[in-house]
């Protein structure tokens, strides 16, 4: 089970829609406070915040199952987590989008201040690095092309005859494959060196900030 490129594009658009309210939250939060004070107080209340917060925490736990599945069968754990890695990867992707939606509900789109603002932007970084990386990787793997060129093909001389022009074009293409192109597998590995490492780094920072966020929540209850 692996999400196709078209599915990932739809998920990207969904994420863009979920991120949009954060840009306009100062406007609609002020309108809500002015016109619907009771609703505003409820959404800011402890019951609402705890309910949505625990929901987000459960989704974070589900997100970590992909790592658990990858690492569980290695020493010293050797614990068998059921399900294939690709299945958990698909769950990881869809749960990540759901988590973004729950965070929107939890924060009401407010960008926060100080620590909360940094925490929120780190979470955005976690989501976007994963989504952009997976979309790019899936697009490359599903492409019928085996080689991706990063150089402009050489122009065939105007004076060449038709048969010679064809030969010159083939020769130029062959040369570009060696010098200005990269294979599908090498390109995917190169991209993973960038997006996957960035994602793992941000996930580590997010985990530490999440623990501190929970500590602050219960400290100032």
What percent of the chain shows pLDDT beyond 70? 81
φ, ψ dihedrals at 14, nearest 5°: -65, -45
Long-range CB pairs of 49-53, under 8 A, 24+ apart, other chains included: 49/106, 52/102, 52/105, 52/106, 53/106, 53/217
> Residue 76, preceding bond cis, omega within 30 degrees?
yes
- CA–CA separation, 162 and 174 (whole Å): 19
- CA–CA separation, 93 and 100 (whole Å): 11
User: pTM above the 0.75 mark?
Assistant: yes
Instruction: Give residue 70's pLDDT.
Output: 73
φ, ψ dihedrals at 182, nearest 5°: -145, 140
* pLDDT bracket for residue 117 (50, 70, 90): very high
Taking only the tens place, the pLDDT of each residue in 64-88 is 888 777 766 565 556 677 778 888 8
Instruction: Give residue 173's pLDDT.
Output: 42
More confident residue, 201 or 181: 201
Taking only the tens place, the pLDDT of each residue in 124-169 is 999 999 999 999 999 999 988 888 876 544 444 444 444 454 444 4
Q: Give me the number of domains the chain comprises.
A: 1
**Three-state DSSP class for residue 79:** coil
Q: How many CB atoms lie within 10 A of CB 84?
A: 10
- CA–CA separation, 62 and 92 (whole Å): 7
In which domain, by residue range, is 77 found? Answer: 5-219
Tell me the β-bridge partners of 194: none
DSSP string for 83-103: S-HHHHHHHHHHHHHHHHHHH
């Amino acid at each position: 089970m692996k999400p196709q490129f078209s599915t990932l594009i739809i998920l990207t658009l969904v994420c863009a829609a979920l991120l949009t309210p954060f840009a306009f939250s100062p406007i609609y939060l002020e309108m809500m406070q002015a016109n619907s004070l009771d609703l505003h107080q409820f959404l800011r209340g402890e019951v609402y915040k705890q309910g949505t917060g625990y929901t987000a925490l459960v989704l974070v736990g589900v997100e970590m199952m992909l790592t658990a599945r990858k690492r569980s069968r290695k020493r010293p754990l050797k614990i068998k987590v059921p399900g294939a890695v690709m299945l958990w990867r698909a769950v990881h992707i869809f749960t990540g989008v759901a988590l973004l939606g729950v965070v929107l509900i939890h924060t009401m789109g407010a960008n926060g201040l100080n620590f909360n603002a940094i925490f929120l932007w780190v979470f955005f970084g976690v989501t976007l690095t994963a989504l952009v990386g997976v979309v790019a990787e899936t697009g490359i793997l599903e492409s019928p092309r085996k080689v991706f060129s990063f150089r402009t093909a050489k122009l065939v001389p105007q004076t060449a005859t038709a048969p010679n022009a064809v030969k010159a074009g083939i020769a130029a293409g062959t040369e570009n494959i060696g010098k200005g192109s990269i294979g599908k597998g090498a390109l995917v590995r190169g991209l993973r060196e960038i997006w996957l490492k960035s994602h793992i780094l941000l996930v580590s920072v997010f985990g530490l900030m999440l623990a501190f966020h929970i500590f602050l929540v219960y400290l100032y209850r």
